[in-house]
Amino acid sequence: MADFDFGAAVRWSRLDPQKTLSRRPDRELPIIGNLVEAGQELLLDTCVYLDGLQGRAPEAVADLLDIRQVNHSTVAIQELMHTVGVLKPKHPGTAEAMKQIGTMIEDMPPHRVFAADPDVLGRAALLSGMLCRLQGYNHDSRLRALQDCVLFLQAQKLGCSVLTGNISDFDYLLQLIPTGRVLMYRPIQI
């Protein structure tokens, strides 16, 4: 198990701009277009799975998943299982949603599922705390920010790019850590 170096993390936190971040225009962000190409391995944000199930992922996402090595994070498993937990048992669509989420999780090859180590978890907690303070996130957004930070730093450590439809939050993370690797897409509005 990797050690966590508190002093190194605190020194690393000097990237704090100490001001609220502004969302940048799309033209300045790594948003995928209609044509995709081979490249770095991907680590999927939870929204990729959910957008795929709900028919909101653009065709370029499916194309990208076909040509790149796809990896999965235990963060996504947690968030998908949280979704299962909040589904109303008596709702008519619950059984089908649970079946689809279960199939997605079971289809993740075990050798392509990665858990964050203590260093990533510690730095992600620090980064999410800074992000919550800078952006004034309320209590409901804080757990989501923590999970996004874990995924972002986990991908960086693995040498992957995060694939996400969460443009706003990952734009802020890229402003704080420009060396991060993210590919973004705009979900289809249904």
Convert the pLDDT of each residue in 27-73 to its tens digit. 999 999 887 888 999 999 999 999 999 999 999 999 999 999 999 99
Structural domains of the chain sorted by starting position, each given as residue range(s) with its CATH number in brackets: 32-184 (3.40.50.1010)
Q: Which residues contact 18 (CB under 8 A, 6 or more apart)?
A: 134
* Three-state secondary-structure class, residue 184: strand
Instruction: Report the pLDDT averaged over residues 111-117.
Output: 97
5 strand-pairing partners: none
pTM comes to 0.91
Per the prediction, the chain carries an average pLDDT of 92
pLDDT at 1: 46
57/55 Cα distance (integer angstroms): 6
Q: In Å, what is the CA distance from 59 to each residue of 9, 36, 114, 187? A: 39, 10, 26, 10
Mean pLDDT within 82-107: 94
CA distance 49 to 28: 25
